[in-house]
Chains A and B, each alone.
Chain A
Amino acid sequence: MSATTLLLPALMIAAVWFLAALDGALAGRAAGRPVGPAAAAVEPVRATARLLVGQRRSTLAADGLLRWAGIASLSVAAVLAAAVVPLGERPLVDLSVGVVWFNAMEVVAWAAVWLVGWGPNGALSLVGGYRFVAQGLSYELPHMFAIITAALAAGSLRITDIVDAQAGLWFVVLMPAAFVAYLLSAAAMAFWGPFDAPVARDTAGGAGSELSGVDRLLFAGGRRLLLVAAASMAVPLFLGGGHGPWLPAWAWVLLKTAAVLVVLVWLRHQLPTIRMDRWAEISWVVLVPLTIVQALVVALVVLARGGM
């Protein structure tokens, strides 16, 4: 195992820490108890330590195997999804079908959250698990159309080819609707606000309601790892990857990923949790046609440029 292989999880954990600190700072400000930057930075570390030593809750007639499978697969899938994101010039693994691989790894979250909801044999956690499946069915099609539009414009499913195709013009300019649909689906796949109904307070924490100790740490951490993976994938797909003046490619990737994360955290504190029935209709009636038309426009542009 080389050093770069370990660099990816380490960077992702650092990004999760950044995310949690920023989220805590914004939550404190919204609650009228502003916390300083140092306190906000220490809080995720303290919460992690508390969960590490916390006792694990067990429930009656739980399906421990499935619950464990769900908790474990969430973090693993997030790291595997991020393995095709170029950290600078090259990703950890430069697959010829990188876009599809990313998509395949991120839908592991469907299975993971449903299993975590099912496993403890609790009504509220089961509600959360089912909510996430409904949410997944709503966000997945616009999400797929959005990422395939980027692949269509580059004429390749390889992430590095998609980055190279943006040397002149970032895809966010060519396909703004696809970018917006991608950002929404990135938040939705990590059940991050306003799409946090699967773990919302009206069900006492939903899918994660029966988790404590290390289980809760891995579930909450895996969710944030998935958000980091989705945010970092927005950079090569729409924001020009490592392209940019003065700074080296890796610095641009880090800066852009951090910017996307800041937007996602800020959105969470601006918008209330959206109900599944509302989100399903918005997604199917507005986003699906919008992303299809976006794909059509990009296809016409590609044809006009003499591609294909």
Chain B
Amino acid sequence: MVLAVFCVLSLLALSSGVLVFVVDSMARATFCLLVSFLAVAAMVLMTGLAYLGVVIILMMIIEMVIMAVFMVMFMMNPAGLMPMSMFHNTRGAAVISGLVFTGLAAGILVVDWPQRRGAPAPDPTVALGEALMGGHMLTMMTLGVTLFATIVATVVLSTGRGRYDRLGDDLDAERADDPTGGGVGR
């Protein structure tokens, strides 16, 4: 039963992943990718990592909807109206992916998998978090704040309108000069 569910999910993940490159519309491509990710999330759930699996579902849905907006905005073929190819460097990509697949598949078959020692952890998510970050929590926290600061800095540097455009050279304007109004009445 578990094997059957796993096979169905992996087939779904692979086939919808392939469909991303087959379909002719950005909207369909985005949601094919979402189906692929959801199948992977279901497989994570099968390993007992409830929190990680559900968070993958949550994040992937939000992410793919936002990505659909950007794909439609920036890609050449928004709605399948103008034919375009989703392929670049097909020959090189085929060689690379073939090699990677062979390597990974060989790894599965060749590696001498260890026998289970001890009992499974009561909460696998906690155990995984400890294993990944146990001794490195400070590093991870610093990394998180650094990444967030980078995002904020990038937005600040790339925005076309800064506070001097909004509030005047001395930052003393009564009301901010914004192209669109907001709800707080600034």
Q: Which residues of A line the B interface, CB within 8 A?
A: 63, 65-66, 69, 95-97, 100-101, 103-104, 107-108, 110-111, 114-115, 118, 121, 130, 133, 136-137, 140, 157, 274-275, 277-282, 285-286
Contacts and interface: CB of A to CB of B under 8 A. Distances in A.
A95 B50 contact: yes
Contacts of B69: 130, 133
Closest 7 CB pairs of A and B: A281-B182, A278-B183, A104-B58, A282-B183, A104-B57, A110-B65, A281-B183
B50 A97 contact: yes
Contacts of B183: 274-275, 277-282
Nearest to A107: B61
State which size class the interface on B falls in.
20 to 34
| Max chain A Cβ within 10 angstroms of own Cβ: one of B34, B51, B65, B68 | B65
B184 interface: yes
Contact of A281 (B50, B64, B123, B184): B184
Interface of B: 25, 27-28, 31, 34, 50-51, 54-55, 57-58, 61-62, 64-66, 68-69, 79-80, 123, 180-184
Given A107-B61, A115-B31, A133-B66, A100 B181 contact: no
A304 B119 CA distance: 35
Given A63-B27, A280-B183, A97 B79 contact: no
Contacts of A103: 58
Nearest to A140: B62
A277 B51 contact: no
B128 to A, nearest CB: 14
Given A66-B31, A95-B54, A100-B54, 12 more contacts: A63-B80, A66-B27, A66-B28, A100-B58, A104-B54, A107-B62, A110-B62, A111-B31, A114-B65, A140-B62, A157-B51, A280-B182
